[in-house]
Structure 1
Amino acid sequence: MRILKTFTSKHFKIKKISNGIYAAIDQLGGGSFSNSGIIDLGDQTIIFDTFNTPQAAKDLRDAAEVLIGKQITYVINSHWHGDHIRGNQIFEDCHILATQKTKELMDAIHPERIQQQQNTIEQLTSYILTLEGECEKEDNEEKKQLLIQKISQLKEIEHTLPSLRLVTPSVTFTENYTLKGTRREIQVVSFGGGHTSSDLFLYLPQDNLIFAGDLLTVQNHPFLRDGNPEEWVSIIDKMVTLSFDKIVPGHGVIGSKTDLIILKEYILKLIEFGRNKDEALKEEIQQFYHDWNAGEILQMNFEYMLSRS
């Protein structure tokens, strides 16, 4: 009798995509803050993105060992944002792969940012206490649940800050990097920068699958401020020419090529709003995407697009 291997974590939910390929989907209130991936190459295991906290990354490593049971050799960072790389210290014994530009951005931005957060832990603790007081008084159940989730996430950050260290990529490339195993081959691809100044995605042609990082968010507002929206549209146009059935986003549920097209339309609408400062279009965007998660990002996107004009 075959025993089905499983793994549970408060930080993420494991979704089996095919034999030897798993997506770790962010659980609200945990310490992941984004999605990740586990890929069996046959003779080695690959991790795609390492979450926002080391404790979530530790569960990710444990999950890979349970589900695959082979040595983790490479960890891939899709871009420099903390919610995708702050778990790197759990994989310090592995090759960590990213674009050269991503490594440069991590080196330039994160040391000061981490130090500043570590120096202000007391303020974070005080803020959490304030939110807990608000939560106790909140009568609206929906708002109460959102506060509970936010408090839980902030406590994950509070817990991890004292021991958080920046671990940057040890292997870098510019456009393409191929990893070959006895079971499958994967292609690490960068078409430049869209979501940030440099983004990569993981393409598994044999499995008709992409791990997109934040080049795709599904039913989630994408963060535009650190990138180039026009270039992002161009990258999506290139991605949709590839052969794939499923795509794992940086945030949200597993999607398809259609979700890339939906995101492209969203970005194009924001570009048009920024150019024309059309309040009617702004209202249309707000109404059309009202049910997307991370709604606070939409106002940031409006402000960013106006600042570019």
Structure 2
Amino acid sequence: MSLGLPQFSYTKGLHDLGNGAYAYLQPDGGWGWSNAGLVVDSGESLLIDTLFDVPLTREMLSTMRDAEPDAAANIKTLVNTHHNGDHCNGNECCQGAEIIAHKLAAEAMLREPPSLLAGFLDMAPELGDLGDFITKSFGAFDFKGVTQTLPTTTFETDLTRQVGNKTVHLKHVGPAHSPGDILAYVPEDRTVFSGDILFIEGHPIMWEGPVQNWIDACDAMLAMDVETIVPGHGPITDKRGVRAVQDYLIYTRDEAKKRYDAGLSAFEAARDINFSDYDSWGDGERIIINITTLYGEFSGTRAEPDIPTLFGQMATLAKERG
């Protein structure tokens, strides 16, 4: 059964959530195809996330200006829900805006500039199956055309911003998917923009952990008075989508722990765990990232992700599964 709300089609473009709230969706929600949001009131606007490159972000902003000619013509405030490029590489398109992110997200942006993925793509033709996987995942995006534009305001716990008569509550719930994950909650609209705390109908990616933080972040959304939830990837959902992601995380944690205790490697565990209940979710190769992160948590030896190795293992899994 679909986790998307039936009143919102999962199609590319701007979707009116009502009351001056909007979601911008990019199917199929896979690698790099992220969502964004716009909150409008009394001629003011706040943008939640930009996209993976400049052309995509400009296209999005154009549709927002068409829908809200006054409020969206000059974005005054931009929130990056975390540091991954598919949520911040288009920041330069919002010249003069206050750009807000969690302190840890801003630090991670410096460590992972757009040039890193541009370099991977340049090397891809020489990398065999790994190169094919990188090209398939990221070849549609123009990273060389990005001028990294960093946050101008950072915070450590919670922050609020007014948009007309609305209040946007920014709540740090990381480290989970990434170090600086935040939720953007708009009580007047009964809406929360989750960033990559939610991948709907796609396997989430646990770059950071601990997993309990992510489970707790789901509980935080379940406790909110919301009826509309805009995920970082995938269709617009409600609390059913939150529960589905939370259940996935708990299942993955518990099954990975059994195999860790049995002495299987993370890659062996990824091949062994039965994810058939999630066969309809996209990007199943991501399970190797999640299990590797969990193994680090179980052993108490959490280290920075070994990106080349993990992408190589994902390429192998993706090829095995067709």
Q: Do structure 1's residue 185 and structure 2's residue 202 form an aligned pair?
A: no
User: In structure 2, what is the equivalent of residue 229 of structure 1?
Assistant: 211
| CA 274–120 in structure 1, closer or farther in 2 if over 3 Å, else same | closer
> Is residue 218 of structure 1 aligned with residue 221 of structure 2?
no
Equivalence for 1:65: 65
- Identical aligned residues as a percent: 21
Change in 2 beyond 3 A, CA 1:105/1:288: same
For residues 115 and 227 of structure 2, what CA distance do their matches in structure 1 show?
Answer: 42
Choose from 73, 77, 81 the match for 1:78. 81
CA–CA distance in structure 1, aligned partners of residues 165 and 23 of structure 2? 18
1:115 aligned partner: 115
Match of 1:47 in 2: 47
Give the Cα–Cα distance (whole angstroms) in 2 for the partners of residues 215 and 30 of structure 1.
15
CA RMSD of aligned residues (A): 2.9
Please show how residues 131-210 of structure 1 align to structure 2 within 5 Å.
Answer: 154-157=138-141, 160-210=142-192
Give the direction of change, closer, same or farther, for the CA distance of 1:16–1:265 in structure 2 (3 Å limit): same
- With over 3 angstroms needed to count, the CA separation of the structure-2 counterparts of 1:166 and 1:290, relative to structure 1, is same
Kindly indicate whether the alpha-carbon contact (under 8 Å) linking 1:37 and 1:48 is maintained by their aligned counterparts in 2. yes
Residue 13 (structure 1) shift: 2.1
Q: Which residue in 1 is equivalent to 2:302?
A: none
**Larger mean Cα displacement after TM superposition, 296-305 or 199-208:** 296-305
Name the structure 2 match of 1:14: 14
Q: Deviations over 1:196-225 (max 9, x none)?
A: 112111111111110100111111111012
Instruction: Report the alpha carbon displacement of residue 298 of structure 1 after superposing the two structures with TM.
Output: 2.0
Q: Separation in 2 of the partners of 1:180 and 1:29? A: 30
Aligned with residue 287 of structure 1, among 276, 295, 298: 276
Tell me if the contact between 2:178 and 2:209 (Cα under 8 Å) persists in the aligned partners: yes
Q: How far apart, CA to CA, are the structure 1 residues paired with 2:22 and 2:126?
A: 36
Name structure 1 gaps, 5 residues minimum: 1-10, 135-146
1:305 is the counterpart of 2:307: no
Q: CA deviation at 1:86?
A: 0.9
Shift of 1:61: 1.5
What corresponds to 2:258 in structure 1? 276
Change over 3 Å in CA distance of 1:12–1:276 after alignment to 2: same
3-state SS of 2:173 partner: strand
Number of the residue aligned with 1:238: 220
| TM-score where L is the length of structure 1 | 0.79
Q: Distance in 1 between matches of 2:107 and 2:279?
A: 36
Helix, strand or coil at the partner of 2:178? coil
Q: What is the TM-score when the length of structure 2 is the normalising length?
A: 0.76
Change (3 A) 1:31 1:288: closer
Work out the CA distance in 2 between the residues paired with 1:287 and 1:31: 21
Conserved? CA contact 2:270–2:291, under 8 Å: no
Kept in 2, the 8 Å contact 1:26–1:32? The answer is no
Instruction: Give unmatched runs, 5+ long, in structure 2.
Output: 1-10, 299-322
Say if 1:225 and 1:301, in contact at 8 Å, map to a contact too.
Answer: yes
- Residue 193 of structure 1, CA deviation: 2.2
| Paired amino acid for 1:86 | N
